[in-house]
Amino acid sequence: MAMLLDALLSESISTLTTLVISVVQTTANFKPELELLGLTLQRIKPIIDEIVNMKRKLDRTELECKMFIEEIQEAEKLVAECSKIKRNIIKKFTYSLKLKVLNSKMLSFFQIEVQASQSRDIMHILSVVNDMKLKVDRIFEEQRDTTQSTGRVGNHRGSESTEREKYGWRVPILPSLIVAFGEPLEKLKAAVGDDHPVLVVAAPGGCGKTTLAKMLCHDAEIGEKFGENIFFVTVSETPNLMMIISDLFNPNPSDPRLLFQSKGDAKNKLENFWNEKASDPMLLVLDDVWSDSFIEQIFPSNIRGHKIVVTSRTAFQKYKTFRFEPLNDEDAKSLFRSSAFTESGSRPSPTINDDLVNQMVPWCKKHPLTLSVVGRSLNGKDELVWKSMLKKLSRGRSVLDLHEDVFIGLERSFESLDEELKQCFLDFGLFPEDQRIPVSVLLNMWVHLYDHDDEGVDTMATIFELSYRNLVDLTTTGFRNDSSARVNYCDQQLVTQHDLLRELAIHLNSKLPLAKRTRLSINVRGDEFPTPIKQLQESMQARILSISTGESFSSKWCNMEIPNLEVLILNMMSKTYTLPHFLAANPKLKSLNITNHGLYLTKFNNFHFLTSSHNLTRIRLERVDISPSILSLISLQKVSLIMCKIGNTFKNLITKTPNIWPQLVELEIDYCQDLVEFPGTLCNSDHLKKNSITNCNDLCGFSEEFGDLINLEMLSLRSCTKLKKLPESIWRLRNLSVLDISDCLNLSGLPEKMGKLGCLRKIYMKGCSGVNELPESVEELSHVRVVCNEEVAYKWRGYSNVEIDLVEENPLETLERMMSF
């Protein structure tokens, strides 16, 4: 019925308007009055149509529509009667007045009655909105009560609960199903119980830090300890401090808000809040914190007795860190199954055998976000979809390429870095998966690329910063910092990276077209180069190139031109290897790192290609059969030979051969078991400052020319177990300040003229149990510090010019260290 009345109302106003126009055109009587009335009707018709539509939406009463219709129908009758009046002067006058009254009445009606109706409608809308607000508030209160009671034991409801309701920062509700976090939760609860007021839960994005923090807040034991005084704040990357504090004091949207006059006023009110709560234990969770300065802003350090748990992608140095360890195999499978096998849509998930699950989980890198996203993407899908996904991943497609949510979650950590840190992070994508990267390799690169210092201060600072942000993991080879000498700050340091973060670096590196990338990583399967590389017709602009080949690689290179190459990383597994042809004419190459990951040493067929690289200053070779051509690289300043076969490289040269690495500053030879004697020809290296020959068990001696290294400042012979004596000419090394002979088990004594080493300041002698007595000349040494174990220390006691630093000798640690490679 209401729809009929609405239609009748619109039709009536249209009919009246048409009638007025018709009468004006067919009769001269009342023309001014009818034209005025027609104009009025034309003005109000759009309003009538809009009112009809609005009343349908508002479901207004039929009485109002009838009221409009009756007024219009009366007007129609009057206009129709006017059309019948011809010459009657009295009727003309009378109906003329009636038309004027009608026009005034229509105007008055819409100016008063309609506006009153609209005002009434507005009040009705406000009333409905108010009712809705009350319902929302009730829902909000019910949700809050559920949040506060879920998983808690021993919460006091009475007056304490009422007090808690005055404040915000309430703990979010837990997801309905959580798996694989039981063990981390127990470890976190134990860490919360210690004496440190601030605990930072640090892990990369997507690892489940927020979920773990929520679980902590809902835990029964935590609830028993902190009661209602558990607060949870989501901070984010760009926090607004005043808004966050406002959320504490304005928990309910419908209540009048407590306003602050300034940022200082807000902080004062917050500090007063902490002081009021100081008598009772409190747990505050700051979720997703990007800067440690925010912790200081939100919580003053002079208030004691409260516990602050911070979740962050960064491990802030000034606070204790709780490391979120990777999931074990079983937890990773459980988390994946919880996402992949829940029912969704109109049909349950099909039966997928365990073999498919076992194959899929490793591709997710045990990363919670990846396990969840990939699992959800396969939920309810047919077996062929699973197999298709596995096929894509096994062919080198990254999870980041297939699932944008994972990429976005990890990319935020990258975007928060400054420009140089970003570049350094991207360099990690150049190294093979699941490999420990010696930090000295990064030092060799970054000295040239980012102007890092030779001592490794800048490089280690960069590694520390990336480690704090959980983008890399820093480890050591097992040596204690205080028991052995280091060539530089990067010496004996290793860094690893989660596979997913490595894929992030690769993904970000690949944004530019292939030919335009500054760093390029090429993985060769068998002899098959990636198709885009083979099809590339132009030269590549890469400054950094990494090439990884397998055991079956036959050194068949495709055509490549890389004229701007400065840093080259070669990873191989084959017994023989031919260097790429583009190295024969590459004058810009400055740093070369070659690592053999195979079972056998690699022998090069054309190492002489490198002789044209006149700017090559740093070279590091690992598990390589050294070619004599290396001696022709006259610009080398740093040489590292790790687990290499020295062979006859130096034997055919006479001692006084000139121009062998004339610019050499640093030499590192480690675990080269066929090195019997230090090459005499290297004693001509006038610029050599650091000489480290370690873990070379067959090293027996030195020529007397060793004393010609007059600029040598550091000499490390650590763990050369067959070495029986040091060269007597060592006394001529007038600039030598550090000597490391620790764990030289067969060393029988020190040179007689040892005391003439006027610059010697530190001697490392831990494990030198064969040194029975010291030469008398040690009394001539200037103030020197001896780092040794108790067995050696007693020999040095009684010398006033000697300070002893005792280190404990752990036989198991020594064995692990010697086996670390």
Helices (H) and strands (E) in the chain, counts: 25, 24
- pLDDT category, 61, cuts 50, 70, 90? very low
24: its two tokens: 């004006």
Largest Cα separation within the chain, whole Å, is 151
The secondary element (H helix, E strand) that includes residue 63 is helix 62-82
User: Which strands sit side by side in the sheet containing 493-496, from one edge to the other?
Assistant: 437-438, 493-496, 473-476
**Distance between CA atoms of 60 and 57, rounded to whole angstroms?**
8
pLDDT in tens, 477-516: 644 456 677 888 898 889 988 767 787 888 888 888 888 9
CA 802, distance to chain mean position in Å, is: 48
The pLDDT-based confidence of 181 (bands split at 50, 70, 90) is confident
Two structure tokens written together for 329: 């195999």
Q: Which of 448, 447, 449 is nearest to 460 (CA)?
A: 447
DSSP-assigned letter for residue 113: I
Dihedral pair phi/psi, residue 552, rounded to 5°: -90, 5
Residue 744, H or E segment: none
Q: Exposure of 27 by Cβ count < 10 A (0-12 exposed, 13-18 middle, 19+ buried)?
A: middle
Any idea how long the chain is? Answer: 821
Neighbours of 151 (CB within 10 A): 16
From the centroid of its chain, how far is CA 336? 22
Task: Determine the pLDDT at residue 3.
Answer: 44
What's the chain's average pLDDT?
78
Q: What is the DSSP letter of 615?
A: T
By DSSP bridging, strand 784-788 and strand 567-572 are unpaired
Per-residue pLDDT at 386 = 79
Q: Is 765 exposed, middle or buried (0-12, 13-18, 19+ CB in 10 A)?
A: buried
Yes or no: say if 472 and 496 are a contact pair by the CB < 8 Å rule. yes
Interior angle at CA 303, CA 302 and CA 307, nearest 5 = 125
pLDDT of residue 426: 92
Strands 519-523 and 567-572: unpaired
How far is 666 from 3, CA to CA, in rounded Å?
A: 95
Q: Name residue 413's beta-bridge partners.
A: none
Task: Give me the helix-helix angle, 457-468 and 419-427, nearest 10°.
Answer: 90
Q: Using the predicted structure, report yes or no on whether residue 89 has a pLDDT greater than 70.
A: no
Condensed to tens digits (0 to 9), the pLDDT of residues 30-60 reads: 666 666 666 666 666 666 666 655 555 444 4
Question: Once rounded to an integer, what is the mean pLDDT over residues 748-758?
Answer: 91
Tell me: the pLDDT tens digits for 524-548?
888 888 888 888 888 899 999 999 9
* Residue labelled with tokens 């102007």: 451
Q: What pLDDT does residue 118 have? A: 58
Q: In this structure, which amino acid lies at residue 649?
A: T
Q: What is the pLDDT of residue 16?
A: 62
- Answering whether pTM is above 0.75, one says no
User: What are the residue ranges of helices labelled H in 573-623?
Assistant: none
Question: At 748, is the secondary structure helix, strand, or coil?
Answer: coil
% of the chain residues with pLDDT over 70: 71
Q: What pLDDT, on a 0 to 100 scale, did the predictor assign at position 364?
A: 74
Judged against a pLDDT cut of 60, whether residue 350 lies above it is answered with no
Tokens 């530089």 sit on residue: 488
Joined together, the tokens standing for residue 393 give 């991943």
- Model confidence at 460, pLDDT cuts 50, 70, 90, reads very high
pLDDT of 252 > 50? The answer is yes
Burial class of residue 798 (count of CB atoms within 10 Å of its CB; 0-12, 13-18, 19+): exposed
Positive or negative CA dihedral for 380, 381, 382, 383? Answer: negative
- Residue 48: strand, helix, or coil: helix
Which of 689, 688, 813 is closest to 742 using CA atoms?
Answer: 813
pLDDT(440) > 90: yes
Alpha-carbon span 372 to 452, nearest angstrom? 40
What pLDDT does 604 receive? 93
The answer, yes or no, to whether residue 573 has pLDDT greater than 70, is yes
Cα(612)–Cα(606) distance, integer angstroms: 12
C-alpha 168 chain-centroid distance: 30
Higher pLDDT, 475 or 762: 762
Where b means 16+ CB within 10 Å and e means fewer, 231-253 reads: bbbbbeeebeeeebbbbbbbbee
Q: Please, which pLDDT band fits residue 121 given cuts at 50, 70 and 90?
A: low
In the chain, what percentage of residues exceed pLDDT 90?
A: 24
> In this model, does residue 377 exceed pLDDT 90?
no
The one-letter code for the residue type at 619 is I
C-alpha distances out from residue 245 to 214, 233, 277, 622, Å: 20, 10, 16, 57
Alpha-helix residue ranges (DSSP H) falling in 109-231: 114-149, 158-164, 182-192, 209-218, 220-226
Who contacts 783 (Cβ-Cβ below 8 Å, separation ≥6)? 761, 801, 802, 803
Name the nearest CA neighbour of 95 among 143, 158, 23.
23
Task: Outline where 219-289 has alpha helix (H).
Answer: 220-226, 241-249, 263-276
CB atoms within 10 A of CB 671: 19
Q: What is the pLDDT of residues 789-810, one digit of tens each?
A: 988 888 898 898 999 999 876 6
Mean pLDDT on 616-636? 92
**Banded pLDDT at 69 (limits 50, 70, 90):** low
CA distances from 300 to 472, 670, 686 (A): 31, 51, 58
Residue 727 corresponds to which tokens in the numbers above? 């060269």
Question: What 3-state class would DSSP assign to 123?
Answer: helix
pLDDT score, position 46: 63
Q: How confident is the model at residue 151, as a pLDDT? A: 41
For residues 615 and 636, is the Cβ–Cβ distance under 8 A? no
Tell me what the mean pLDDT of segment 420-430 comes to.
92
Q: Cα(274)–Cα(270) distance, rounded to whole angstroms? A: 6
Look at 504 and 301; give whichever has higher pLDDT.
Answer: 504
| Structure confidence at residue 103 (pLDDT) | 67
Comparing 90-99, 140-149, 285-294, which segment has the lowest mean pLDDT?
140-149
| 368 contact partners, CB below 8 Å, separation of at least 6 | 180, 206, 207, 208, 327, 335
